[in-house]
Chain A
Amino acid sequence: MIEFQNVVKKYDNGVTALNGVSVKIEKGEFVFIVGPSGAGKSTFIKALLKEVKVTSGHIHMDDMEITKMHRRKVPFLRRKVGVVFQDFRLLPNKTVYENIAFAMEILGTPHRNIRKQVPMILALVGLTGKGNYYPNQLSGGEQQRVSIARSMINNPPILIADEPTGNLDPDTSWEIMKVLRTINRRGTTIIMATHDREIVDIMKKRVIALENGLIARDDKIGVYGYDD
């Protein structure tokens, strides 16, 4: 469970990106964060990952209070939360297999387990047999699937995605959404910031709309609701 209590984030340059956000997200939910550019979606996600320090308010994740967490504990928070970005963030000089294995090596997973689990996660995201490819030998959609595989390899209970389909064409975007839906059905909570109207409208999931750092809408089965 994730809970934001009156969270305010004011950047050093004076911009108030979050202006008192309170919201609760239950375990296993699939939530879209929508809103115009600059509304504070990415800031919302960064606050959850403790990539930015909030100005006031509290953020709880299960029994952790993220806002009060010591810097040294942040790595352990990140292990509970898989992250996927618009630009994939794969290491270009490592193969698909190595990119995913990397996330396990960091946790000190024995190689025996890595060899067993990487093919399993590759199958889950539909990339069986592509383990030895380098990122530049893959399409954008395939690269994003590698990045999802990497974020999921250590079985985090939460997956956060900031515009994961932002760089992909509609067909490829849908393939990614299918992967995310599969992961969500296995019980992983998914929070996804997006500008993709079609996806939001068709998926029929919870939609939280941010505007000027405030929650403008929070619908159980929502729609995108903007014209951009």
Chain B
Amino acid sequence: MTIKPIFTLKEAFKNLWRNRLMSIASVSSVTATLMILGIIFALIININAMAQSAKDQFDSIQAYLKEDITAVEIDAIITKLSAVNGVQSVAYESKADALVKMKESWKDNAYLLEGLEANPLPSSIIVYLKDIYYASSVLIEINGLSGIEEVKSYQDIVEQLLSITEAIRKAGIIVIFVLIAISTFIIHNTIKLTVNSRQREINIMKYVGATNWFIRWPFLAEGTLLGLFGAGIAALLIRFAYDAVFEIMHTDFYVLVSAYVVLPEVLMADIAFLFVVIGAGIGALGSIWSMRKYLNV
């Protein structure tokens, strides 16, 4: 069987034009669906990026040492912790180091520290983790050591961050599935109009011995075109919107957050692929669905 792609496309365009109101409705619904999908996707990607950099920053555990600890004991702790599974490296921070660090981070207010008679800061051991995932097992190891006064870890913050990301991802997926179902339904209705108007033709085709796929193919082309139009428009709109948001984020006001915002080019590469696949999928599904009844002759 020969399928003539150019002829099929021409016919498809003609039919879409004939039912242009429904075509516009279909394209709009796909566009709306994909826009929302795009927004959720952009959110998720950015939150993921932020969570990732947070993980990179918080992937250490600081164990404050007791005042009376000896150099030998410190060496023993370092050796022991270096061997623990999931530990990247272990560093020692003396009381003096801690003070220097604090002065650096206090910057203009550092003069307040000048008045101190003795250094009140404890010395500590900083354990860098290979991944935040090892935090709890390493914590157990550290707590089992003697000579440790107090442990500071970022586990709680990171876990909260991760659970927020997860919640957004789940909610997003549900919303997206509902929207995809809605636009598939709208495309299904549009294609049903052409199918209805060509019911006679389909019937005759069946009597002359056309296979279902021969009959389905042009309608499939129509539905897929609708989906792809929707995807194209949605991609453009998302591009403009995201560029605008990206601009705003780079004004001074948000400069702290903007370091984590994913570049438009990076986002658009993913979005373009996602939109084409989902748009074409919605269109194809809608049109095959709309033909089901008519092919059982």
| Residues of A near any B CB (own CB < 8 A) | 49, 51, 71-72, 75-79, 83, 89, 91, 102-103, 106-108, 150-151, 154
Contact = CB atoms under 8 A, between A and B. Distances in A.
B144 interface: no
A75 B200 contact: no
A78 B208 contact: yes
A91 B204 contact: yes
B204 A89 contact: yes
Contacts of A83: 207
A28 B201 CA distance: 30
Q: What is the size category of the interface that chain B forms with chain A?
A: 10 to 19
A107 B212 CA distance: 12
Contacts of A106: 205, 208-210, 214
Contacts of A151: 208
B203 A78 contact: no
B208 A150 contact: yes
Nearest to A78: B209
A51 B209 CA distance: 12
5 contacts: A77-B209, A78-B207, A91-B200, A106-B205, A107-B209
A51 B203 contact: no
B1 A76 contact: no
Nearest to B201: A91
B216 interface: no
A102 B201 CA distance: 10
B2 interface: yes
**Most chain B beta carbons < 10 A, residue from A49, A83, A106, A154:** A106
A108 B2 contact: yes
A188 to B, nearest CB: 16
Contacts of B209: 75-79, 106-107, 154
**Most chain A beta carbons < 10 A, residue from B1, B207, B210:** B207
Contacts of B207: 49, 78, 83, 89
**Most chain A beta carbons < 10 A, residue from B2, B204, B212:** B204
Nearest to A109: B2
A89 B2 contact: no
Contacts of B200: 89, 91
